[in-house]
Every structure is written in C-alpha cells, then in structure tokens.
Amino acid sequence: MADASVGSTSVASRTAPPASEPAGRGAGQKLRTRLVEVAFIVPAVVYLVLFFGYPVVKNVLMGFQEYTTKTFYTGEAPWVGLSNYSAVVGNAIFDRTLWNTVLFTAGSIVGQFALGLAIALFFHKRFALSGVLRSLILLPWLIPMIAGTAVWRWILDTDNGALNRILSAIPGLDLNPNWLTSPQLALVAVIGVNIWLGIPFNMTILYGGLQEIPEELYEAGALDGATGWRAFRHITWPMLRPVVTVVLVLGVVYTLKVLDVILGLTNGGPANSTQTISTFSYDMSFRQFDFGQGAALGNILILISLVFAVVYLRINRKAVDE
C-alpha cells in the first residue's frame, strides 16, 4: 500500500501543472530579455547615427553656412540662409548639369534594364555552361571601379583605343570618333560605360524574379497557345512586374549619385558636357573649396533621391501586403 501511495504521489507530481513563478522572478526574466534586445539594437543604431545620420545632418547644415577652408582653422561658419542655394541654381552651368543628370540617369536606366532583362530571359532557358556564362557577366561587379574606368579610357581613346582600331579595320568605314573629348559624344560614351557596369545588377535581380514564376503557368499557357512573345506578355511580364518596379526605382537612386565613373572617364568635361549634379557638387567642394555651395548641391541631389526612395518604399510595402 505504501509503495502504491508513493507511486501515485510521484505520478501526480509529474502530471501536475508547474507552479507559477514568483512575480519578482518573472519580472527579472523580462528585464534580461529586454536588455538582450537592446544590446542587439544599440550597435545598429549607433552605426546608423554615426555613418548615415550625422553626415546627412551636417551636410544639410553646411548648405546654409558660408563653409570654406577658412572655417577649418577659425571654426567660424556664418549662417547665410538660402544664399548657397540661390548661388548654385543661378550658376551658369547649373541648367546644363541638371539636364545632363536627367539624360545620364534616363539613358543608363533604359540601357541597363533592357539589356539586363534580355540576358536574364536568355539564361532562364537552361543550357550547358549557363552557370559559368552567368558568372562571367558578374565580372563588372568584381572589378574595382577605378580599374574599370581606366580600361574603358584606353578602349575609348581616340588615337590608340581598341574601339577605334576595330572601327578603322572595317573596310569602307573611315571613322575615328573622339569618344571622350568631343562634347557631342562624351556623354554618350559615359552612359555606355555606366550601362556596362549596371547590367549585372539588373540581370541578377530580374533572373531571380524569373526563377520565382511557376513553370505550371507556362505549361497551362502553352495549352491555350500562349508561347513565345504571347507567353512573355501575358505570363512573364505580369508576374515580373513587382521585381521590375524595384529594379527601376533602385537603379534611378543609384544612378543619380554616380560620381566615380564620370570622374574616371572625363572628369566632367569636355566643356562641362558630362557634368552632372554629383560631379558639380564634388567640383565645388573639393576643387573650389566652397563647401557650403557643394553641400547645397548635395542636398538638392538628396531631395531628388528621396522622392524615388519614397516611391520605392510605397511600392515595396504594397508588394508585401499583396
């Protein structure tokens, strides 16, 4: 009987619900959990504030100050209100830089997206060595920008460039274009190089989007006669549209602030024919050492980018909701 009572007691103790923890112990556990969460968040917040928040706020303030090299040893940067903005907007080359920025961004985005989509569709059909070839297309991403622009400067050189040598070797074609020194051709050449740099990004994102489209849709569409162009129009494009939107918006934001490609190829010349707002801001800040006006141009570029960033966030949220 004694053994039975002991056994029943032990079983009851195993099946009985655990006693509730003391209130103080539960509060301590919650506090530790909260501290761990804060420990993970604080480094990210500090990083964002130091490397993103502070430069942006400092740049906004400099846009309203007379900030020159004298400020570095006097510490004085008088408040000038909107004078820097009126000075840069009234500058003789501002309209040219704004128009060049529009042409450079639009030309680069159209070229990068069209070629990126064509290559993504090409690789969507599986064939031998497709993985190797797809990896080779990513090479422009792996090459340092300064090295890539140096190679393109040689390719586009008027006298000794590879491109003009190829053109001169074509029978009946007497051409020797000044790709980087002609005001009419320099912007076209810079856009072409930027397209080459942007193709891997567009191709990679669009190829990933194509991989997410179920094959069953193409099989069902084929039964209804939707093949080739009709399959692209009625199946591929509608299913790929959210990815396309993200690629285009991100591409615009990235292209607006392109600086190194232009500096490496033409340095903004000849005759400001490749000068954009970003290179104009660099020129004002680090060649003419008028940091206030350079910051004002940078803030204008931030505002333009912010518009597209808001568009991207709204589209991204809409895609998540759907």
CA distances (Å), origin 211, targets 82, 100, 214, 223, 240: 50, 36, 8, 21, 10
Under 8 Å between Cβ of 103 and 314: no
Task: Point out the least confidently predicted range of 9-13, 123-127, 128-132, 167-171.
Answer: 9-13
pLDDT for residue 148: 87
pTM for this prediction:
0.82
Nearest-angstrom CA–CA distance, 282 and 264: 13
Dihedral, 111, 195, 266, 60 alpha carbons, nearest 10:
90
For residue 1, pLDDT over 50 is answered with no
For residue 12, pLDDT over 60 is answered with no
pLDDT 10s digits, 58-85: 999 999 999 888 888 888 889 998 999 9
For residue 246, which of 317, 305, 191, 196 has the smallest C-alpha distance?
317
For residue 94, pLDDT over 90 is answered with yes
Which stretches within the chain are classed as H helix? 2-15, 23-48, 54-62, 70-74, 83-89, 94-124, 130-137, 139-142, 145-155, 162-168, 186-211, 215-223, 229-231, 237-256, 260-265, 277-286, 291-321
What's the burial of 300, exposed, middle or buried (CB within 10 Å: 0-12/13-18/19+)? buried
pLDDT 10s digits, 217-268: 888 888 888 888 899 988 898 888 888 888 988 898 889 989 989 999 999 8
Under 8 Å between Cβ of 261 and 145: yes
Instruction: Determine the average pLDDT of the residues in 103-113.
Output: 94
Under 8 Å between Cβ of 125 and 184: no
pLDDT for residue 319: 64
For residue 188, pLDDT over 90 is answered with yes
For residue 296, which of 5, 76, 44, 87 has the smallest C-alpha distance?
87
Q: What's the pLDDT band for 19 if we cut at 50, 70, 90?
A: low
pLDDT for residue 322: 65
